[in-house]
Amino acid sequence: MPRAQVCTGVDVDAVAGALGSYGGENSPSDIARGMFAGQAGSSRLLRLFSKYGIKTSWAIPGHSWETFPEEMSAVWEAGHEVVLHGYSHENPIAMTPKQEADVLEEQLATKYCGKAPVGYVAPWCENSPQTSALLLSHGIEYSRTNMHRDAEPYYGRVGHTWTKIDYAAEAKTWMKPLIRGTETGLVEIPTSWYLDDMEPFMFIKQFPNSHGWVDTRVVENLWKDQFSYFYREYDDFVFPITIHPDVSGHPHVILMLERFIEWVNTHDGVQWVTMKEMSDDFKRKNPLPGRGNGLPVNDA
């Protein structure tokens, strides 16, 4: 019987998403949608998880904590995990190294939930060249940002290098393979655009691939097909889903989530876990001290 660890990651982008990523900083309408996410959407999702007895991981920008203190405190009080997610959903590759460090250090110093989180989700799944080292230097244990794998956690690497194509130069200047970087102790929980609610379900004026009117059953079947494949092919796998109150706080998506949760629960061997539980389980099975003693290194 397969063992399946299923995690729901809730990214509370809300107003921070409009400020940092969606181009809505000048739009009262986009700001209003962010208010819906922080207030109505988040509260509805908490009720959903309570209904099914599921503990989840909430990636909460500092802006969302400070704008919606009652709603975000309710997340922690209900026993869900809190994960770092920037302050205003800033893109790490758009910031200077100092700006990125300042944002992370502010988040860790504030300790909104009584203690510093140990997980990180990069806004827009973008790491800068210094992100991993910065996280490790501040005691972060895992990140749900990268996509080297889809059904297995792994230890991340830093320093991948690749050669861009320069059509003004001779072809031999770019015909070089990617060189893998150095493995670190930062656990990567794999993420996937195909297990994310935002791209199909949220209308964003600036993004042509985000239109918001996909039938929920199309995405539900896509998620079921991915789960069914992993359940058939793997003895042990992880299934991290990413949702947003901006999207999944709406009735039609909540009903889809209810159907999906109930369908997943018809399978033996399913565990609903937090991202930290996924990370801890992976580290127990793949301890870093032993990886230099003949154990294989997973090329990411």
CB neighbour burial string for 209-234, b if at least 16 within 10 angstroms, e if fewer: eeeeeeebeebbeebeebbeebbeee
- In the numeric block, the tokens 């090329």 are attached to 299
* pLDDT value for 289: 60
Q: Which fold has domain 3-285?
A: TIM Barrel (3.20.20)
Give the contacts of 255 (CB within 8 A, at least 6 positions apart): 216
User: Which of 54, 43, 47, 52 is closest to 14 using CA atoms?
Assistant: 43
* pLDDT value for 27: 78
Tens digit of each residue's pLDDT (9 = 90 or more) over 173-217: 999 999 998 899 999 999 999 999 998 998 877 777 667 789 999
Model-level pTM greater than 0.75? yes
Q: Which amino acid is at 105?
A: E
Task: Sketch the domain layout of the chain as residue ranges.
Answer: 3-285
Rg over CA atoms, the chain: 19
- Residues of the chain under the 50 pLDDT cut: 290-300
